[in-house]
């Protein structure tokens, strides 16, 4: 089963509107796709038609399979009805199918009954199906009987299939408008009634309190502009360049709004098929190619070239700079029932309090990296073996709240987010999400349970496996839409992390993933916006089988294999200095003299071939204090700003 796109989706559009390309993009990340071609071969002398068909074939990846149904219009109904739950079908298009249906060779036939059979097959199919169809109802009524018969039959087909599909999109001039569902069932009141409220960008919040805000405590208001977000702690006050702020915004692409999401009268709509920004396709390869020209004494940066390419693509420049403002989002959310078997009661709360006090591995590594630390409490999740982990309202609220956290970070000038988590049963919930979205067997993606004494608890591991098994059995007939997966299996922490990834993608802020919650959220986010995974970087899989599988599905290659197990988020922070070092070398080293770079023997310049003006400014860090720095007032210390 594909983890991209909809369960059943009809894509409408005019000629050359881009409807086929849009439909293909929705299933591009599916493991396998069966392309159902409905158009007849046409006149052999019609070279223009043959060219069109060849262009469609050339766009299909080699992993796709193609099935022709032009010989028998009833074959399309059979293909859709017999497809299994692990299949993804792309039908292009219904106009060709209607053409074959009206062909005299297939007459006499009951066209109305055949259209009804098609709609019934779409409504009951277990597969993911995307159907493409031309929208001809906006043109003039044809003047010929055959033309009128075609438009009438195609109009009836489009209406029947649209009613059967979960969603309908209309593509006009390459732009997509979502016709169904027109409005979501749950929406959040807007922060303001001004025209500016139609933008996804959230206005900067004022001073925050010194307490963590619980996403469960105020579900009706999450995502609204007047909700206080959690304090951003600064475990150390090392002198670094001040980031952009709302009062002194960055003039570059970093701080700029990037898109406008669908809005309704009640607020922002987070729904499948969102068109979010993609990293730059050109600057990444340019930056990697540029590394071959630098004056490096050895063979180069090895696998760290991926870091340079990733940073270049997400920053939009072939000479990316090291991330100078980093924020860690620590999401705390417990899961009840068998998911948390073997976990010490209250341990996640202790870890969160420890981080808030500036102690523990996560806070110490954040201090070492001069990163801000924000601790967020997610809604508690009910036992997944007995019922949904969250209600639909709680999922909507958590997604919006996570989005706002990413928006707040972008407004504060944060250049990189690190997604961290601590919660009893979080790895079990992530395994359930992987099993639902990638077809994984729970025992293969669920890590061993380690007790406080360092012993392996196989009994607890079996209880966790049984919880996932029972949850999957309970939801075997449920939809596998993103929000359904979050409500039934994922829970509060994964839902909130998904919102963070979507918000960060919208604001072009890259995210370091580290652990099961982050990778599970990345899997779910692909159903909502396939672009989100391209803004994610995975430093290490930490030896966790679920993270390794998710990385394979997402196309993320772990950069190192340290197998550190310091808690989700801490491993990424441990690897961050290495990633920054690679970016520093890429940004500051000169071109090799043999390729036109400065000569080491010249009288001008420094020993490494650069002029004195090119020397980077390195500040000596001050000793880290025992806890988070504060200004002595209610205002928290923002990332990268000293508490004078």
* Dist CA 180 CA 644 (whole Å): 54
Burial 336-346 (b: 16+ CB within 10 A, else e): bbbbbbbbeee
| Nearest-5° Cα angle at 131, 125 to 133 | 145
| Whole-angstrom distance, CA of residue 503 vs CA of residue 202 | 11
Sequence-separated (6 or more) residues with CB below 8 Å from residue 527: 3, 4, 5, 272, 437, 481, 482, 485
Neighbours of 620 (CB within 10 A): 6
Say how far apart CA 126 and CA 480 lie, in whole Å. 10
CA distance 370 to 642: 10
What are the percentages of helix, strand and coil residues in the chain, rounded to 5?
40, 15, 45
Phi-psi region of 642 (alpha: psi -120 to 50; beta: other; left: phi over 0): beta
CA distances from 135 to 27, 40, 150, 155, 349 (A): 21, 19, 12, 8, 55
> Residue 87 catalytic?
no
Among residues 272, 261, 271, 256, the alpha carbon closest in space to that of 190 is found at 261
* Residue with the two structure tokens 């159902």: 36
Which of 350, 503, 354, 486 lies closest to 429 in space, CA to CA?
Answer: 486
Catalytic option among 275, 568, 620, 622: 568
Cis ω for the linkage preceding 181 (within 30 of 0): yes
Structure-derived torsion over alpha carbons of residues 384, 387, 388, 394, reported in degrees to the nearest 10: -110
Taking alpha carbons only, the member of 365, 373, 406, 419 closest to residue 568 is: 419
In angstroms, the CA 121 to CA 287 distance is 49
In contact, 499 and 270? CB cutoff 8 Å: yes
| All residues at 6 or more sequence positions from 51 whose CB lies less than 8 Å from its CB, including other chains | none
Alpha carbons 361 and 415: distance in angstroms, whole number: 22
Q: Where are the alpha helices (DSSP H) in 180-332?
A: 283-291, 305-315
For residue 98, give both structure tokens: 């209607």
Catalytic residue numbers, as ranges = 568
């Amino acid at each position: 089963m594909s983890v991209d796109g909809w369960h059943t989706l009809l894509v409408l559009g005019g000629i050359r509107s881009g409807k086929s390309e849009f439909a293909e993009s929705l299933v591009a990340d599916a493991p396998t796709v069966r392309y159902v071609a409905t158009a007849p071969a046409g006149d052999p002398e019609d070279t223009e038609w043959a060219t069109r068909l060849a262009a469609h074939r050339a766009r299909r990846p080699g992993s796709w399979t193609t099935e022709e149904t032009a010989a028998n219009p009833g074959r399309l109904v059979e293909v859709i009805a017999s497809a299994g739950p692990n299949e993804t079908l792309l039908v292009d298009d219904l106009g060709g199918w209607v053409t074959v249906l009206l062909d005299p060779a297939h007459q006499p036939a009951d066209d109305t009954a055949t259209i009804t059979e098609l709609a019934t097959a779409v409504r009951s199919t277990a597969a993911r199906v995307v159907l493409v169809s031309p929208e001809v109802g906006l043109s003039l009524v044809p003047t010929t009987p055959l033309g009128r018969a075609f438009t009438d039959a195609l109009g009836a087909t489009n209406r029947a299939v649209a009613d059967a599909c979960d969603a309908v999109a209309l593509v006009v001039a390459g732009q997509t408008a979502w016709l169904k569902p027109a409005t979501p069932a749950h929406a959040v009141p807007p922060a303001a009634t001004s025209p500016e409220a139609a933008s996804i960008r959230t206005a900067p919040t004022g001073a925050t309190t010194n307490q963590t805000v619980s996403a469960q405590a105020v579900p009706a208001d999450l995502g609204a502009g007047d909700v206080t977000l959690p304090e951003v702690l600064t475990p150390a006050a090392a002198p670094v360049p001040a980031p952009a702020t709302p009062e002194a915004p960055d003039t570059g692409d970093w701080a700029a709004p990037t898109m406008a999401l669908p809005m309704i009268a009640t607020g922002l709509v987070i729904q499948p098929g969102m068109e979010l920004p993609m990293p730059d396709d050109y600057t990444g390869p340019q930056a990697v190619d540029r590394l071959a020209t630098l004056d490096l004494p050895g063979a180069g940066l090895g696998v760290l070239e991926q870091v340079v390419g990733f940073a270049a693509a997400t920053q939009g420049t072939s000479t990316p700079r090291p991330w100078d403002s980093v924020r860690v989002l620590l999401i705390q959310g417990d899961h009840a029932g068998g998911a948390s078997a073997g976990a010490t009661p209250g341990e996640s709360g202790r870890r969160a309090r420890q981080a808030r006090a500036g102690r523990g591995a996560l806070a110490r590594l954040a201090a070492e990296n001069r990163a801000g630390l924000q601790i967020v409490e997610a809604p508690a999740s009910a036992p997944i073996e007995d019922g949904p982990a969250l209600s639909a309202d709680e999922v909507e609220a958590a997604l919006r709240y996570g989005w706002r956290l990413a928006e707040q970070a972008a407004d504060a000038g944060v250049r990189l987010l690190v997604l961290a988590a601590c919660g009893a049963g979080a790895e079990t919930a992530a395994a359930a999400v992987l099993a639902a979205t990638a077809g994984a067997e729970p025992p293969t993606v669920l890590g061993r349970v380690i007790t406080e004494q360092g012993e392996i608890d196989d009994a607890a591991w079996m209880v966790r496996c049984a919880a996932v098994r029972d949850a999957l059995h309970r939801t075997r007939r449920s939809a596998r839409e993103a929000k359904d997966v979050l409500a039934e299996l994922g829970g509060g922490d994964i839902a909130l992390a998904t919102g963070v990834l979507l918000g960060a993608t919208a604001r072009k802020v890259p995210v370091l993933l580290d652990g099961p919650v982050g990778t599970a959220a990345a899997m779910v986010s692909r159903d909502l916006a396939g672009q989100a995974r391209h803004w994610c970087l995975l430093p290490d899989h930490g030896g966790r089988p679920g993270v390794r599988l998710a990385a394979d599905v997402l196309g993320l290659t772990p950069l190192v294999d340290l197998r550190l197990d310091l808690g989700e988020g801490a491993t990424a922070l441990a690897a961050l200095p290495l990633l920054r070092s690679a970016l520093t070398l890429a940004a500051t080293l000169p071109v090799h003299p043999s390729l036109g770079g400065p000569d080491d023997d010249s009288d001008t310049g420094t020993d490494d071939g650069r002029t004195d003006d090119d020397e980077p400014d390195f500040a000596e860090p001050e000793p880290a204090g025992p806890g988070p720095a504060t200004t002595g007032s209610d205002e928290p210390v923002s990332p990268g700003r000293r508490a004078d």
